[in-house]
Every structure is written in structure tokens, then in C-alpha cells.
Amino acid sequence: MSEPNAEEVQRLFSAAPFIAQLGLRLVSIGSGECRTALILAERHLQQDGFVHAGVHATIADHTAGAAAASLVGEGQYVLSVEFKINMLRAARGTELNCVAKVLKAGRTLIVAESEVTCASEQGERLVSKATVTLAVVSRQRS
């Protein structure tokens, strides 16, 4: 594959307020691949002390979006069409790590999957897995 579109991927992390507030950090970019990390804090939890499913979903969706964005051309961006996520284990720990990989990059649709692991005293374990469909959109000329 050619060089990843690192500029567009970085924009997904520098220009998205919801991601900044969450605290999701870009770890690495490849062509069709992205890694992110999140230091867990109380604000990420649901009512029983586990990481909220919405946090799993946000990380999985955004990292998949970044993996997809690494492949788009100049003047293009990606939008999530839909995703599905399985929470495999109730997550409790110190950090979430996510790896997203593109399964298929089409001209108008990109499909990626994300694996989220949670680091805790028991080690690092897979806690959720998502499949994300994204649309490739062309920016309107002004």
C-alpha cells in the first residue's frame, strides 16, 4: 500500500471535541491501520463501575474511522454509516487500547474492525470488538 494519509488521521484527533474530552490519544498510524489509547478515569464509567459501553463504542468507532481515513485521497473524508460492537467482558482497569484494521477499502465504502483491550492487574484482555462501515465523502469545493 501507499503512504497513509497521516494529515487526515491527525485531524480526527486534533479537531474532534468529543474525542479530546474523552482523552483518546493517537498512538500510531499505518495504511489502513490505527492504534489508540485511553487512560481510564472515573468519568468513563457506568453505574456499576465498569467502562460505559458508549466509551467502548466511541473508541472502536473513532479508531476504525482513523484507519479508514488513512486511505482516503486529498479532499475526501469519512463518515460512520453504521457499526456493531460486542462487549465481551465487563471492563475495569487502568487503560484501554484499541487496534483498528481495514477489512475492505472500496471507492465509496470502507469496512474496518476494531479490537479494544483493557489493561488491569489481571493483564491485558480483549474487552470488545466492533465492525464499522464508513462512507467516503468528497469535500465540496468552496
The string of DSSP letters for 98-119 reads EEEEEEEE-SSEEEEEEEEEEE
Determine, following the binding rule CB under 8 A, whether residue 92 of this chain makes contact with a second copy: no
**Among the listed residues 29, 34, 57, 98, the single contact to a second copy using CB under 8 A:** 57
Place of cell 463504542: 57
| CA 61 to the chain's CA centroid | 4
Mark the segment that binds a second copy (CB under 8 A) among 30-38, 92-100, 105-113, 116-124.
105-113
Determine, following the binding rule CB under 8 A, whether residue 58 of this chain makes contact with a second copy: yes
Place of cell 484494521: 101
Q: At closest approach, how far in Å is the CB of 9 from a second copy?
A: 10
Dist CA 54 CA 70 (whole Å): 24
Q: At closest approach, how far in Å is the CB of 88 from a second copy?
A: 4
Determine, following the binding rule CB under 8 A, whether residue 42 of this chain makes contact with a second copy: yes
Determine, following the binding rule CB under 8 A, whether residue 99 of this chain makes contact with a second copy: no
Q: Detail the DSSP E strand segments found in 17-74.
A: 25-30, 33-39
Determine, following the binding rule CB under 8 A, whether residue 111 of this chain makes contact with a second copy: yes
